[in-house]
Copies of this chain bind each other. A is one copy, B any other.
Amino acid sequence: MSTGPIRLSQGAHTALRPATAARITGGFWAARRRVNAEVSVSQGPDRLERAGNLANLRAAAGPAPAESGFRGDFPFQDSDVHKWLEAASWQLAAGGEGPAEDELAWQVERLTGLVAAAQAEDGYLQTYYQLGPDARRWAEPHWGHELYCAGHLLQAAVAHHRATGADGLLDVAVRCADLVDATFGPGKNETVCGHPEMETALVELYRETGERRYLDLAGYFVDRRGQGSLGDGPAEGSPGPRPGAPYWQDHIPVREATAVAGHAVRQLYLLAGAADVAAETGDAGLRDALVRLWEDMATTKTYLTGGVGSRHELESFGDAYELPPDRAYAETCAAIAAIHFGWRMALLTGEARYSDLVERTLFNGFASGVSIDGERWLYVNPLQVRQDDESRKDATSDRSAHRTPWFRCACCPPNVMRLLASLPHYMASGDAQGLQLHQYASGSYEAGGGAVRVGTGYPWEGRIAVVVDTAPQDTDWTLSLRIPHWATAYEATVGGEPVAERAQNGWLRLRRRWRPGETVVLSLSLDPRLTRPDPRADGVRGCAAIERGPLVYCLEQPDQPAGLRLDDIALDPDATLSAEHRPELLGGVTVITSLALRHAVARDGWWPYRDGGAGSGGGTRPGVEAGGVEALDPVPVTAIPYYAWANREPGAMRVWTPLQPLTG
């Protein structure tokens, strides 16, 4: 069976179903998953011990929990443990042998035991409240994160059950879910949690246990939002921004919403959960709302990297086309949440565009969240860091453009771990007609009554070979290959012969009788390209970005000629973009070189604005060129994939670069 989080019920109302088996065996993602397993997941228990998370569990299990001090700054610290357990379980499910695997299994059982021991008799489990007065339980829905933590517990338990077949953690989750079900609902506690997450988790627990109450409760929570049970929330004592209803996702019912808004992770966890509900119930009204909200997000509020959440303030979505590159928040967790949401929409609708965006987010705004060595993390993923960015110097802030070994608010690292550990799940799907390949990674995939093996050097190389190992022998069967939305040119062959089919709506569907072992070769053109933004995107007007295949590129200081200031250059749109693979650089990347035009800004005095334009009062002062800049010699610049930035000494970086002529 599939090793991923979505195991649809038999009666689920989706266009596609996840692969029943999926393994990634080589290439880009295999390498990232190996680092994830050997470094990130492996170091997890030690990180959690140092941050106090495990001490909290031990204290809650002890004789006088209410008198023990809680360690950490946030009520949701337990969820870091749950997410690590989920990641480690998916890792175990993916298989492997040897001492490392034994050590991981031992750690999983150890932490599972700590979690189980910490659970209260009535099923309650959140050490922040267990180590404080009982009266606060369920009383602080805005900041308490109680259902959020419970949701991550449920997800960990489902993963653990699927990976090991053991019931221990699943029993803990069921007791917790039953307590929640007894506590919340019509006529009971009718508030929702300030942070969505329980919705998707309850649907997963329903799928794992068959207990319909959990699905019903998930549907209740989805529809209860926007009814004002949280409202604007409590006033804070500092003059900082005050979270309002959009922050808590209580400003409008999901069914009525037309725009993604508020806290990005909260919004997208909620939409992922709503998609799970729609998948299991066939609720067409809910599905239509989700399509509308995804379109609003993708079309007006998504960075080129797939990152979402434009504002540092309240970690929130901004207005349409508010996509500043420098102050992009684009939290790593929001990228993960967007992938969760997008994959569910791909299954629900069968449309390729959802997986187009999932691919973009995976390779860029998600992959940037963890260092090449798997030891350090980014919470925020900006698209530009200026030469003199002060935040680079503040290595202690969760929010700096600086990778750190762990965060005070450590939601992102175990979230990255669990997505990488379950990544095979996102590659392929099946339906009555056949198998769909959504993402390209060397490996083997079973779905839709067939099985294929993929071999590819993607994303560095555009050639993808798919061997059809198993297909129905007595009838036509369809292998569907997603043609990425960036691919303006591609070729496909079956058994060496060009195919006549062309992609429609992003799917190249090859329907035929297949001989076992027959090979399909898809070749995607990977010419480097310049990309321009929508003219309404104020933050990057007049700029272009370099892309190649699914990868967004950036210019980072260490790759440029000494002394070149990235703040003072423009891309030459007529210069050739040349790709070269460098196996020794940053774990092996293809770089792109081009020419940039340096300019010295001609400004006299202290004021950074000047007369300009040809309006009646405009005109340029004598001695200053139009545009106020003086062009110097072109210089070579080298771009690296965005995901690989911030792995060397701190320095300037930019994805978007002005194009000549500078109209500044």
Measured CB to CB, the closest approach of chain B to A200, in angstroms, equals 20
Contacts of A259 in B (CB 8 A): 388, 390
Q: Is the CB of B390 within 8 A of A617?
A: no
Between A241, A394, A541, A658, the greatest number of chain B beta carbons within 10 A of the residue's beta carbon is seen for: A541
Q: With A and B bound together, what is the CA distance between A390 and B384 in angstroms? A: 26
Measured CB to CB, the closest approach of chain B to A564, in angstroms, equals 14
Given contacts A530-B611, A571-B613, A576-B615, 11 further A-B contacts (CB under 8 A): A240-B314, A311-B327, A313-B313, A320-B386, A322-B386, A324-B324, A325-B538, A529-B617, A532-B627, A535-B627, A578-B616
Q: With A and B bound together, what is the CA distance between A615 and B529 in angstroms? A: 6
Contacts of A571 in B (CB 8 A): 613, 615
Contact status of A614 and B573, CB under 8 A, knowing A389-B319, A609-B532, A658-B541: yes
Interface residue A106 (Cβ < 8 Å from any Cβ of B)? no
Q: With A and B bound together, what is the CA distance between A544 and B80 in angstroms? A: 48
A533: which of B241, B295, B664 is its contact (CB, 8 Å)?
B664
Contacts of A607 in B (CB 8 A): 298-299, 356, 485
Determine, out of A24-32, A43-51, A597-605, the stretch whose residues face the partner at the interface.
Answer: A597-605
Interface residue A304 (Cβ < 8 Å from any Cβ of B)? yes
Between A315, A394, A531, A627, the greatest number of chain B beta carbons within 10 A of the residue's beta carbon is seen for: A531
Between A313, A324, A356, the greatest number of chain B beta carbons within 10 A of the residue's beta carbon is seen for: A313
Between A320, A386, A535, the greatest number of chain B beta carbons within 10 A of the residue's beta carbon is seen for: A535
- The chain B residue with its CB closest to the CB of A411 is B239
A536: which of B533, B568, B615 is its contact (CB, 8 Å)?
B568
Could you jot down 25 A-B contacts, CB within 8 Å?
A73-B235, A143-B237, A244-B394, A319-B388, A321-B386, A322-B326, A322-B386, A325-B538, A353-B606, A488-B611, A529-B615, A530-B612, A530-B617, A531-B609, A532-B612, A534-B608, A534-B664, A535-B658, A535-B664, A542-B664, A573-B614, A574-B615, A575-B615, A578-B616, A659-B663
Question: Which positions in A face B, CB cutoff 8 Å?
Answer: 73-74, 143, 232, 235-242, 244, 246, 259, 261, 295, 298-300, 302, 304, 311-315, 318-322, 324-327, 353, 356, 384, 386, 388-390, 394, 396-399, 408-409, 411, 485, 488, 527-546, 548, 567-568, 571, 573-578, 594, 599, 601, 603, 605-618, 621, 627-629, 658-659, 662-664
Contacts of A576 in B (CB 8 A): 615-616
A608: which of B537, B545, B618 is its contact (CB, 8 Å)?
B537
- The chain B residue with its CB closest to the CB of A143 is B238
Contact status of A542 and B544, CB under 8 A, knowing A242-B397, A326-B322: no
Q: Is the CB of B611 within 8 A of A531?
A: yes
- The chain B residue with its CB closest to the CB of A567 is B536
Q: Is the CB of B663 within 8 A of A541?
A: yes
Q: Is the CB of B539 within 8 A of A542?
A: no
Contacts of A538 in B (CB 8 A): 324-326, 384, 539-540
Q: Is the CB of A319 within 8 A of B240?
A: no
Q: With A and B bound together, what is the CA distance between A617 and B529 in angstroms? A: 4
Q: With A and B bound together, what is the CA distance between A458 and B397 in angstroms? A: 48
Q: Is the CB of B237 within 8 A of A73?
A: yes
Contact status of A617 and B319, CB under 8 A, knowing A73-B235, A628-B535, A664-B534: no
Q: With A and B bound together, what is the CA distance between A124 and B388 in angstroms? A: 43
Contacts of A599 in B (CB 8 A): 535
